[in-house]
Every structure is written in structure tokens, then in C-alpha cells.
Structure 1
Amino acid sequence: MIIDNAVIYILQKPSIYKALHESNRLLAEQLGQFQFIAIVVVGPLIEELVFRLPLNGKRSFLGFSLSLAFFLLGGFYSLGSAQLDHKLSVGIITSLVFYFFLMLFFSKKRFTEQNRDSYIKLLFYVSTVLFALSHISNFKPLQYSLIWLYPVYVLPQFIMGVGFAFARMRYGFGWAILLHMLVNTPFTIINYL
């Protein structure tokens, strides 16, 4: 809140938090009665598949996670398209090609037991940072002149990402998903009311 006040009063820019609340309101309107399921169930499941699944060091899980991220970032899933079947087909095929390319790149020789731990540590931190930065997309419209401040606004997501990653490493993938769902629940209920 202090940073947002500085944005408003010192930098003479519109509130970034107001943009977040407006973006959440529009999302709630678009999702309607499916808001709770989308934010509490589907969102955490997809985010955990992308950001936490590969934290066990298996290259197939890393390949799947990166392919899913490629599919989502490519916009192949966008609803409202007249050619949704075509976009989904193209998205699935390109994601599969991307997956097999990754499996070739991350050969078994590169993923040995000796270097597995260093990969996992790197993945832990990279996935946590990317998880937090991916939440910048919640602030619409972006104020590009203030893009350097957005990482501060997603600091809570970074801290939660560390917790989710820790739960994934310590207790398993299912617990990370459950924890993520539990964290999203109160915010969705408050936003729904």
C-alpha cells in the first residue's frame, strides 16, 4: 500500500491496485458462476503443473511443464475464437513437438544423479520467480512506465510460491496443489461477495 501511495502521489500515476481490483471485477463478470471453480480449482492445478511439477528432477515432468507453459503462452486455448478446434489442434501439435525437442535437449546424459540436485535447486528458485512474475498479468492495464515496480507488487506471490515449492519438495505434488487451493479460497470468497 505504501508503494501504491508513492505511485499516486510522488510519481503522479494511477493506482496500480485500482487496476488490479478492476481487472478482478472484470474477470469475475466474465467467469460468472464459474469464478470459484476457475480460481480455486483450475488455476492452482494449472499453475502447479507448470511451476512445481518438475521439482522432482524428472526430465519428463520438466518437458511436460514447459510444453504446457508453451501451450498457454501461445494462446492456443483462447475461448471465443471461431476456429477454436483449429487453434487447439495447432496448439497441441506444436506443444508435442516442443516437448519432444525438450526431451532431446535434456538428454539423460545431462540429467544424471550427480547434477540432479543442482538442477532441482535452480528449478526451485527459477520456478518461484517465474510464478510470481506471471502474476503481473493480473494488473491490467499495465503501466509500462512503472514496469520496474511490478515485482514489488507480486512479492506476496513470490513468498507463496516459496511455500508451494517447499510443500511440493517436502510433502509431494498433491499437497502443493491443495495448499494453493486453500490460499486462493478466501480471496475468491471475498471477491465474490
Structure 2
Amino acid sequence: MFFIVVAPIAEELIFRLPLKVKRLNIFVALVMAYGIFYLSHKSVATLFSLAEVLKAITFILICLEILYCLKDEFFNAISTRYFSLYFYALTITFGLLHVRNYIDLVPSNLVLLAPIFAIPQIIAGFFLGYFRLKRGLFWSILLHAVINTPTTLFYFVKH
């Protein structure tokens, strides 16, 4: 269920929502990334500790400060002149983050070749980004869920 519902929603919010270059979209993506990549590795008991709450509030305030200090011209430049670079950076980052799914399968002497395993996710990221831009975020989430379904079902049937 996680890989078919939660992961597509979270990953699309992080990597495809900000393709519509707006402060709010980028803010939501940053907060989701913080939640997924930092908080998800914490125990439930420590999530609500004063230290973790203060870290989260600090992260949110810093993100807001940076995003609202940037001029509108910056966001306009990203959404026009530098959009291709921005799109490819998000797509490749999305794909390379999936290397962790395969890193245990790669012998230690070949670990530098591990990104080769992420090529399918990079290609999927291009299609998901295209869908997000042409059809909307809902459709990229749905396509992501469809892409994850066969692998997830195969994994659970096999185990």
C-alpha cells in the first residue's frame, strides 16, 4: 500500500509539484522532503521531542525566509530561461534517489556503477514530469502509482 499510494503522492509533491514554479509549491516540496528524508528515519517517540519540533520549526522558518526574500524575477527566470535545467535537475535527482533501492545488490567494488540501476527511474521521472506539466499533478500521481503497482505486487507475491 505504501509504494502504491503514499510514495507516489509524497514523491510527486517533492519532485513534480515545484515544476509549476511558485513559492508555495517549492515550500510544500521542501517541507515534504524534510518529512520524508529526515523525519522518516526518526522513531515516533523522538518526533515529538522538543528538539525535533524546534528543528522542524527552524527548517520551516528558514525555507519561508529564503523563498520570500527571493525576487519574483528569480522565479520567472527559473520558469522560463532556466526551466530545462530545473526540470532535468529535479528528474535526475528523483531517479538517483532510487539508487538506495538497489545499493545492497551492487558489489562494493562496483558501487560507483550503482546509478546505472536508477536509469529506469530517471526515464520514469521524465514521463511523470511531462504528465505533470501537460495534464496536472493528479495525473502524475496516478501514473506514478500505476508504474509502482506491478513491482510492488511482484515483490509481495514473491515474498
TM tier, smaller? 0.7 to 0.9
Aligned equivalent of 1:83, options 46, 63, 72: 46
Alignment of 1:10-159 (within 5 A): 37-73=1-37, 75-86=38-49, 89-112=53-76, 116-141=79-104, 143=107, 145-159=109-123
Kindly tell me: are residues 116 and 54 of structure 1, through their superposed partners in 2, closer, same or farther at Cα, counting changes over 3 Å?
Answer: same
Question: Which one-letter code corresponds to 2:87 in the other structure?
Answer: F
Unaligned runs of 5+ in 2: none
Query: Relative CO higher for 1 or 2, CA cutoff 8 Å, sep ≥ 6?
Result: 2
Could you tell me how far 1:185 is from its partner in structure 2?
Answer: 0.8
Kindly tell me: are residues 130 and 115 of structure 1, through their superposed partners in 2, closer, same or farther at Cα, counting changes over 3 Å?
Answer: closer
Query: Which residue of 2 is the match for residue 188 of structure 1?
Result: 152
Give the Cα–Cα distance (whole angstroms) in 2 for the partners of residues 69 and 110 of structure 1: 22
Question: Which one-letter code corresponds to 1:182 in the other structure?
Answer: V
Q: C-alpha offsets along residues 20-69 of structure 1, whole Å, 9 cap, x if unaligned?
A: xxxxxxxxxxxxxxxxx211000011100111001112132123212322
Structure with higher helix content: 2
Q: C-alpha offsets along residues 96-120 of structure 1, whole Å, 9 cap, x if unaligned?
A: 12321331353223223x6522243
Is the CA contact (8 Å cut-off) linking 1:64 and 1:99 kept in structure 2? no
Query: Which residue of 2 is the match for residue 169 of structure 1?
Result: 133
- TM-score, with normalisation over the residues of structure 2? 0.84
Question: Which one-letter code corresponds to 1:136 in the other structure?
Answer: V
Task: Please provide the CA RMSD for this pair.
Answer: 2.2
Give the Cα–Cα distance (whole angstroms) in 1 for the partners of residues 8 and 67 of structure 2: 26
Question: Which one-letter code corresponds to 1:137 in the other structure?
Answer: R
Q: C-alpha offsets along residues 1-29 of structure 1, whole Å, 9 cap, x if unaligned?
A: xxxxxxxxxxxxxxxxxxxxxxxxxxxxx
Aligned length: 155
Identity of aligned residues (%): 30
Could you tell me how far 1:77 is from its partner in structure 2?
Answer: 3.2
Give the Cα–Cα distance (whole angstroms) in 2 for the partners of residues 135 and 127 of structure 1: 13
Unaligned runs of 5+ in 1: 1-36
